[in-house]
Amino acid sequence: MQQIKTSFDFEKPIADLVQQIEKVKQVAEKTKVDMSATLDELDGKLDETTNNLYKNLTGWNKVQMSRHPDRPQTLDYINMICDDFIEMHGDRTVKDDKAIIGGFATINGQTVMVIGHQKGKNTKERQFRNFGMANPEGYRKALRLMRLAEKFNKPVVSFIDTMGAYPGLEAEERGQGEAIARNLLEMSILRVPIICIVVGEGASGGALGIGIGDKVYMLEHTWYSVISPESCSSILWRSWDFKEKAAECLKLTSDDMFGNKLIDGIIPEPLGGAHQDPELMGRTLKDYIVKDLAALGKLKTDKLIEQRIDKFCAMGVVNE
């Protein structure tokens, strides 16, 4: 099996076994003693431990996985999935919000409008991208691009990965809430297919602002919730110390969301997370997108919109 690069405390059992295997190999090389039986036993134990660990991650573990610094982001997926990409800028009102990127791209010869959050991978990039937290002009840029896609009858693909919409005073002054609400309304009746995928963090209205679609997916080790575990902990317990408990209570994992019929499916990640094998993750995402574009493209526009609205209206409804 591919060696897992460990980063978190909960991955320590894997790191310990890898270390044991390395020590046995060193002893075997130094003493010229046949240690193959011991190595086979340790390899088997490593496979079992690795599979069991990643199948039984807690809510907080998945939050950690979604924030891994090496995890692929929107631009990575665009480069892996799309044949070409023409980025478009600005909301034609205020400025170009770098936290949200978008433009026309080609996937398997089909033109689509790709929109997504971009966090950045180092300190300089994160400051430039405002840590993936969009201002109102970011959501207005996204809406402008979606209307452009509608004008030319091209489907929309959105990648969601944000800690939330930017909460600064200036964002509220420029109408943060209205911008997100407008996107919810306009996306619900957009006359082209929309595929939304949570590829990292999906926090609050910041995620919903580009998250209304005919198909809404989550990658296996991502989360989607009205609030982050840290913020929830600080509100309920006046401290961040209960963030792990908050993560469990929020039911924010892909399994929880699918079980509550809030998403349409879970896209499996490579063993150990998307950062372990980004190329495989990119191919998997492309397969889902291509398949759904073909299926949604066969639906009449009115039927497409009707199904989209019915799906979201049914969420949270209890029939007694």
DSSP string, 7-72: -SGGGHHHHHHHHHHHHHHHHHHHH----HHHHHHHHHHHHHHHHHHHHS--HHHHHHHHT-TTS-
Give the model's pLDDT for residue 5.
Answer: 73
Same domain, 99 and 246: yes
Q: What are phi and psi of 140, to 5 degrees?
A: -70, -35
Tell me if 96 is assigned to some domain. Answer: yes
Which domain, by its residues, includes 148? 63-314
Same domain, 44 and 78: no
Same domain, 235 and 293: yes
Spatial separation of the C-alpha atoms in residues 158 and 112, rounded to whole Å: 10
Contact 156, 146 (CB under 8 A): yes
Same domain, 168 and 256: yes
Give the model's pLDDT for residue 242.
Answer: 95
Give the model's pLDDT for residue 28.
Answer: 85
User: Helix 243-250 and helix 59-66: axis angle, to 10°?
Assistant: 100
Same domain, 94 and 27: no
Q: What are phi and psi of 298, to 5 degrees?
A: -85, -15
Show pLDDT as tens, one digit a residue, over the chain (320 residues). Answer: 456 776 788 989 998 998 898 898 888 888 888 888 888 898 899 889 989 999 999 999 999 999 999 999 999 999 999 999 999 999 999 999 999 999 999 999 999 999 999 999 999 999 999 999 999 999 999 999 999 999 999 999 999 999 999 999 999 999 999 999 999 999 999 999 999 999 999 998 999 999 999 999 999 999 999 999 999 999 999 999 999 999 999 999 999 999 999 999 999 999 999 999 999 999 999 999 999 999 999 999 999 999 999 999 999 887 77
Tell me if 320 is assigned to some domain. Answer: no
Work out how many domains the chain is built from and give that number: 2
pTM for the full model?
A: 0.92
| C-alpha count within 13 angstroms, C-beta hemisphere, residue 134 | 38
